[in-house]
Amino acid sequence: MKISKEFKTGIITVLAIGLLIAGVNFLKGNSFFGGDQTYYAYLPSSGQVSSATPVTINGVTVGRVQTVDFIPGNEINRSVRISFSIQQENLKLTKGTKIEAGSLDFFNKGIMLHLGDDHSKGYYSPGDTLDGYVEVAMMAQIKDYADPITQKLQVALGSIDKMVNDVKAFWDTTATSSLEESLGEIKVAIHSFGNAAKEIESLVVDEKVKLSKILSNVESITLNLKKSNEKIEGIIGNVEKLSDDLVTSDFKGVIENAKNTLAEINTILEQANTGEGTLGKLLSDETLYNELVKTNLDLQELVNDIQVHPERYIHFSVLGAKTKGVPLTKTEERKLKQILDTIP
């Protein structure tokens, strides 16, 4: 049977039209053969979702977005209506399922379904409206994160700018001259420290010999102490015995006597301070002190004169001659001789 060209052309045209319609439906998010379950959601914005973008559950594509329409006069948070289809068979949306419109990854936009957990509430039917929200855009998140940092940077830059201005104000002519004067004073101080160090060094060199002698003396003292160790131990033993004797003695009576003695000493010292009594007069009377000094000088002159000219004071008779001078007994002569011998 011969097929005419017109028939072939008609068949091709019908197939082309069918393919065109199927392609358009596919681009709109519908399956080739239809039968999809369509649902709706109202959001404040599209989240850059458009027709034919995927609908996913846990990263798996289960449908397509069909239309994204702006609904004038609707509430602000429900001004955009998104219709999407579920193409996977036997997939039911549990009540409480929410949609999230936004970025699926860095490059693709779409809808993510978050299924409800409570199956006892039932399931959505095709044509129902689901609750949803728009994912916060990455740039908005970056902006929210960067805004506080930007504000802090602005404050820091303001502080740095103020500090730079202060430094510039500091480096004027007056500040520069003051700084030069300060540096000159520091230089003089360092020079003085150097001179002081030299003087200390020379002092150490001069006193080095003395220090060496002192250390030698200390070493000899330690050696003597070491040699006298037994004596020291004996002294310590005597002190221990003495302390034991003191413990066993009438310590209370000794303390009482010591208190009385100290009281009497205090009385004597008070009298001496006020010039009362013999001791007080001796301490406070300068006339008595001066007379004692004068008497001592006269006595010294007398002794010196006796040593030089003893014949003026002592005369001895020879061959029965008459005795001249002051006559002294044997006892007085012996005492006078002892006095003269004690004088250097």
| Domain locations along the chain | 36-135, 286-342
Highest mean pLDDT: which range of 19-23, 105-109, 307-311? 105-109
Beta bridge partners of 36: none
Evaluate if residue 274 carries a pLDDT over 80. no
pLDDT tens by residue, 121-157: 899 999 999 998 888 655 555 656 666 777 777 788 8
pLDDT tens by residue, 184-205: 788 888 888 788 877 777 777 7
Helix (H) or strand (E) holding 110: strand 109-114
Per-residue confidence (pLDDT) for residue 142, from 0 to 100: 62
DSSP string, 134-177: EPPPHHHHHHHHHHHHHHHHHHHHHHHHHHHHHHHHHTSHHHHH
pLDDT tens by residue, 281-328: 666 667 767 777 777 787 777 777 777 766 666 655 544 445 455 566
pLDDT tens by residue, 246-266: 555 566 677 788 888 888 888
Cα–Cα distances in angstroms (integers) from residue 277 to residues 47, 282, 288, 289, in the given order = 119, 9, 14, 16
Helix (H) or strand (E) holding 187: helix 173-227
**Percent of residues, the chain, with pLDDT higher than 90:** 9
Q: pTM of this prediction?
A: 0.37
At 82, is the pLDDT very low, low, confident or very high (cuts 50, 70, 90)? very high
Per-residue confidence (pLDDT) for residue 77, from 0 to 100: 77
